[in-house]
Amino acid sequence: MSKPDACDPIADDEIVLKHVTERSGWYDPSREVPVKWEAFRPNANDVNGKSVWRAKYKTADEVARLATRFSNRKDHRYFVMSLRVGDLRRIGIQVAATPDEGQGELGHASLSNLNVAEYESHQDTFRALAERICRELILCVSGPFGPFGEDARETP
Amino acid sequence: MLDCSSALASEVLPFGDSTAATEESLSIDFSESNQRREAWQQLIDFKLVEWGRDPGQLEDVDLIPPTQAAVDRAVRIAMKMQQSGVQPPTSVVPDGDGGVNMERRSGATTESIEIASTGIAEFVLLQNGRVVGRRDFHVGR
């Protein structure tokens, strides 16, 4: 029997979680807008959009542990942002369940149109969208979590 | 309405004083000038040089650390801006894709210098989070 893969459609009232490393400087509570738009800027690896995790399947602490597990660095601390799916969709961001087949973790999703091709084609529009997320849509930021070191292999 | 033409003119350095020039503002006192110089120096010594020395410290599943070309260009730009006595940025962060972004926010206006992984730099001007102008940035090349 196959494992559940959390392919169920994502409802507008769901919350998704997105991590940022403390060292990135993308989150600083002392700034007027604490989260930087770069947290949503896709890089060359983000072909299918920015990764997020569904809060109905993962806690913020678990998201930070997963980030450590998937990273080569085990000494990072992480902040985790909460965003409401309906808010993201309202400004044109597509949110889709994208099961994490490689790692077998439940609750993976993608902000599908925040992908590298979209960014490279429409930089100014993209920047405005990312700025809007940072200014208006982040419900809360929790953390820092970690560092977890090799303990990140185990979720509590 | 903001007059973008001067901010986007290639010979004008960004991060200048955002207030209109007055007799008072024309005579920036010595201590303020020193504070600006010191802020730029801290940025160079404790952030950019550190990133260049060990870019892997920033590596994450979501973040490709700045390349040496991007860091080198950022240092040259910072030194030029420091020499020119302009205000220091309000943030300097990796762009997540091998580059470095320097930014100064003042009210609704954001001035941003975006240095790509190749070391090529652009100046971007935003009003209320919307891009109103973009040009190549040649300082520090």
- The pLDDT tens digits of the residues spanning A112-134 come to 999 999 999 999 999 999 999 99
Do the domain assignments include residue A155?
Answer: no
The alpha carbon of residue A62 is apart from the nearest alpha carbon of chain B, in Å, by 15
Do the domain assignments include residue A7?
Answer: no
Do the domain assignments include residue B16?
Answer: no
Total domains in chain A come to 1
Check CB contact under 8 Å for B93 and A25: yes
Name residues whose C-beta falls within 8 Å of residue B12's C-beta, 6 or more positions apart in sequence: B6
Q: How many CB atoms neighbour CB A120 within 10 A? A: 11
- The pLDDT tens digits of the residues spanning A36-59 come to 999 999 999 899 999 999 999 999
Residue A62 has pLDDT above 80, yes or no: yes
- The pLDDT tens digits of the residues spanning B57-100 come to 999 988 999 999 999 999 999 999 999 999 999 999 999 999 99
Q: Quick one: B12 exposed, middle or buried, by C-beta within 10 A (0-12, 13-18, 19+)?
A: exposed
Do the domain assignments include residue A2?
Answer: no
A140/B111 Cα distance (integer angstroms): 26
B119, B95 contact by CB (below 8 A): no
**By C-alpha distance, which of B104, B95, B99, B89 is closest to B40?**
B89
DSSP three-state, residue A99: coil
- Which of 66-95 (B) contact A at CB < 8 A? 90-95
Q: What's the one-letter identity of residue A13?
A: D
For residue A24, the model assigns a pLDDT of 96
Q: pTM of the full predicted structure? A: 0.90
For residue A7, the model assigns a pLDDT of 82
Residue of B nearest to A69 (CA): B61
The alpha carbon of residue A154 is apart from the nearest alpha carbon of chain B, in Å, by 18
Do the domain assignments include residue B20?
Answer: no
Which residue do the tokens 């091709």 mark?
A117
Check CB contact under 8 Å for A127 and B58: no
Please list every residue in chain A whose beta carbon sits closer than 8 Å to the beta carbon of residue B90: 31
Check CB contact under 8 Å for B62 and A51: yes
Q: Quick one: A23 exposed, middle or buried, by C-beta within 10 A (0-12, 13-18, 19+)?
A: buried
Do the domain assignments include residue B8?
Answer: no
Do the domain assignments include residue B71?
Answer: yes
- Indicate the residue of B93, B126, B134 with minimum beta-carbon distance to A26: B93
List alpha helices for chain B, DSSP H. Answer: 4-8, 23-26, 30-43, 49-53, 68-84
Average pLDDT, chain A: 91
The alpha carbon of residue B22 is apart from the nearest alpha carbon of chain A, in Å, by 27
Residue A4 has pLDDT above 80, yes or no: no
Do the domain assignments include residue B5?
Answer: no
Q: Which of A104-108, A149-153, B120-124 has the lowest mean pLDDT?
A: A149-153
What is the Cα A131 distance to its own chain's centre? 15
Check CB contact under 8 Å for A128 and B131: yes
Do the domain assignments include residue A121?
Answer: yes
For residue B141, the model assigns a pLDDT of 82
- Indicate the residue of B94, B97, B131 with minimum beta-carbon distance to A24: B94
Q: What's the one-letter identity of residue B75?
A: V
The predicted complex's ipTM stands at 0.90
Please list every residue in chain A whose beta carbon sits closer than 8 Å to the beta carbon of residue B124: 127
A125/A4 Cα distance (integer angstroms): 37
Residue B11 has pLDDT above 70, yes or no: no
Expressed as residue numbers, the domain containing B130 is 29-136
Q: Phi and psi dihedrals of B33, rounded to 5?
A: -60, -40
Average pLDDT for residues A87-96, to the nearest whole number?
97
Expressed as residue numbers, the domain containing A21 is 15-144
Total domains in chain B come to 1
A51/A109 Cα distance (integer angstroms): 6
A-B C-beta contacts closer than 8 Å: 80
Check CB contact under 8 Å for A71 and B93: no
Do the domain assignments include residue B54?
Answer: yes
Any chain A CB within 8 A of the CB of B37?
no
Check CB contact under 8 Å for A36 and B57: no
**By C-alpha distance, which of A100, A101, A105, A125 is closest to A114?**
A125
Do the domain assignments include residue B99?
Answer: yes
Strands B91-94 and A108-111: unpaired
Do the domain assignments include residue B48?
Answer: yes
